[in-house]
Structure 1
Amino acid sequence: MIEMLEKTVAHNGLVAAFALVGAVVLLAGWLSRHLTMGRVHGSAIAIVIGLALAWWGGRLSGGHKGLADVPLFAGIGLMGGAMFRDFAIVATAFEVQVTEARKAGLIGVVSLLLGTVLPFIFGALVARAFGYDDAVSMTTIGAGAVTYIVGPVTGAAIGASSEVMALSIATGLVKAILVMVGTPVAARFLRLKTPRSAMVFGGLAGTVSGVSAGLAATDRKLVPYGALVATFHTGLGCLMGPSVLFFAVKAFVG
């Protein structure tokens, strides 16, 4: 029975990958609801579990692709490849309604730009402080500070190493968790009471999972507005990271 199951999984790697990711998401959602009372979003917990599984797979197989190096989970390599990654980004962009986005006005655009550039600068400076002084590494880690999706997308475009891209994902994850936990605490100070303020906050924070969870713990009615503007960070970061921001860093560090 076990041998039959192993053969079935081995010959249907992509299906098995979807099943594994689904199980991880379900577990992360349960942990989010019961251990953190929803304050830490399930997506952040799922990413932590994914990173732990990648480390375990790498140690077990001695390879360089994490869990995908284990024959039983080879489909993870296809599911986590560039094709599905780009498909997910495009699918996210299609959910945005331009007519709704216009309601944020000029202040929403400004907050979006600031929320993209300022975290990038901070992430790049932290990377340099820890010894990553080349333009590729600084740009990749800085892009990770925008969101944990922008980091690896930027790194793949400019030729960053897998280690640096992993650091960029970890950087974005830390940011998402900080936003999740900090939003309810700072909500009164930030005056998060109206849809407009939620849009501005979503533009400045820039992480959809962090903004969604943080606003859900503050006022569930504000979640769609904050997430609406935060969604644009993925597309904007993926456009600016390998181009404008990379060339700006290269001009400074050579």
Structure 2
Amino acid sequence: MWDVIRKTAEENGLVVAFVVIGLVMLVSGVISRKLTFGRVHGSAIAILIGLGLAYIGGKMSGGSKGLADLTLFGGIGLMGGTMLRDFAIVATAFEVQATEARRAGWIGAIALFLGTVLPFIVGVCVARAFGYSDAVSMTTIGAGAITYIVGPVTGKAIGASSDVMALSIATGVVKAIIVMVATPMAAKFLRLKTPRSAMVFGGLAGTVSGVSAGLAATDRRLVPYGALVATFHTGLGCLLGPSVLFMAVKFFAGK
């Protein structure tokens, strides 16, 4: 019986991945409602559960891809890959009304620029405070503070070590979780009530996953608008990280 289940799961890896993620989201939703009374969104809890499962999978398999290293859960590697990720990000734009998107105007563009540069500066300062003094390491960790995708992309382009790139990813994940958890709590203070305010917030926050989950816990109608602007952070960060931002850090660091 077990052999039949294992063989079926291995031959239908993507289906198994959807089932596993669905169960994780179900459990996360219950925990969010019952234990935090909706104050912590289920997506943030799901990420913590996912990190825990990845750690367990890595320990059991001795690999580096978490549960995806286990044959039974190999489909999670495909589901969590760049193809479906980019599809999900692009899909958020289909719910955006063009008339509302245009209202962001220059404010949205300025928010996007500030949301790229300010987290980078914070990330660089944190890296320096923890003993990283070379421009490559500081730039890579600072880029990770923009998003956890920009960090490794920048690090690969400028020759950072794998350890530093891992730190940049961790920095971006921590930022995403903070945005997820803090957005519903600060929504009233930030006046997140309109598509325009959501786009400005998405530009300043910068993390698609964090913005999407945070706005979903605040007002689901605002999710596409916040995610639309936040999506541009990946492209803008990947352009500025290995070029302008790296040269700026190198100029001030001197090495």
Fold conserved (TM > 0.5)? yes
Residue matched to 2:234: 234
Aligned residue type for 2:121 = I
Q: 1:159, 1:4 → 2: CA distance?
A: 46
Kindly state the Cα deviation for residue 110 of structure 1 after the two structures are TM-superposed. Answer: 0.3
Kindly indicate whether the alpha-carbon contact (under 8 Å) linking 2:43 and 2:213 is maintained by their aligned counterparts in 1: no
The Cα shift of 1:204 comes to 1.1
**1:154: Cα distance to partner?**
3.8
- Match of residue 65 from structure 2: 65
Deviations 1:148-195, CA, capped at 9 Å, x for gaps: 343344445555555444433332233233333433444454344444
- 2-structure distance, mates of 1:115, 1:167: 20
Deviation at 1:147, TM superposition (A): 2.5
Task: Indicate how the Cα distance of structure 1 residues 4 and 183 shifts in structure 2: closer, same or farther if over 3 A, else same.
Answer: closer
1:137 is matched with 137
Please give the TM-score of this superposition, normalised by the length of structure 2.
Answer: 0.78
Q: TM-score, normalised by structure 1?
A: 0.78
- Asked whether the 8 Å contact 1:39–1:180 carries over to 2, the reply is no
CA distance in 2, matches of 1:157, 1:88: 22
| 1:148-187 equivalences in 2 (<5 Å) | 148-158=148-158, 160-187=160-187
Three-state SS of the structure 2 residue aligned to 1:131 is: coil
Change (3 A) 1:235 1:184: same
Once the two structures are TM-superposed, the CA of residue 217 in structure 1 deviates from its matched residue by 4.9
Residues 25 and 157 from structure 1, CA distance in 2 versus in 1: closer, same or farther, beyond 3 angstroms?
A: farther
Instruction: Determine if contact 1:135/1:246 at 8 Å carries over to the other structure.
Output: yes
| Partner Cα distance (1:11, 1:5) in 2 | 10
**TM-fit CA distance, 1:213:** 4.2
Residues 177 and 210 of structure 1 are in contact (CA less than 8 Å); yes or no, is this contact kept in structure 2?
yes
Quick check: 129-138 or 106-115, which moved more?
129-138
1:1-254 equivalences in 2 (<5 Å): 1-80=1-80, 84-85=81-82, 88-89=85-86, 91-93=88-90, 95-96=92-93, 99=98, 100-158=100-158, 160-218=160-218, 222-253=222-253, 254=255
1:211 maps to amino acid: V
2:245 and 2:175 map into 1 onto residues whose CA distance is 19
Q: 1:85 is aligned with what amino acid?
A: T
2:31 aligned counterpart, secondary structure: helix
Corresponding residue SS for 1:146: coil
Change in CA separation of 1:187 and 1:25 when aligned onto 2, cut-off 3 Å: closer
Does the C-alpha gap of structure 1 residues 3 and 227 become closer, same or farther in structure 2, counting only changes over 3 Å?
same
Q: What is the letter of the counterpart of residue 101 of structure 1?
A: A
Alpha-carbon separation, structure 2, partners of 1:95 and 1:215: 13
Note closer, same or farther for the CA distance 1:42–1:234 as it changes in structure 2 (3 Å cut). farther
* Cα RMSD for the two superposed structures: 3.2
Taking the aligned partners of 1:148 and 1:139, their CA distance within structure 2 comes to 13
Contact 1:40 1:177 in 2 (8 A): no
Q: CA deviation at 1:27?
A: 2.8
The more displaced of 39-48 and 105-114 is 39-48
Task: Write the distance in 2 (CA, Å) between the matches of 1:186 and 1:141.
Answer: 27
Q: Which residue type is aligned with residue 17 of structure 2?
A: A
Question: Structure 1 residues 72, 92: closer, same or farther in 2, change over 3 A?
Answer: same
What per-residue deviation string (whole Å, max 9, x for no partner) do you get for residues 40-84 of structure 1? 33332222222222222222233333333333334444444xxx3
List runs of 5+ in structure 2 lacking aligned partners. none
Structure 1 residue 14, shift from structure 2 partner: 4.2
Unaligned segments of structure 1, at least 5 residues = none
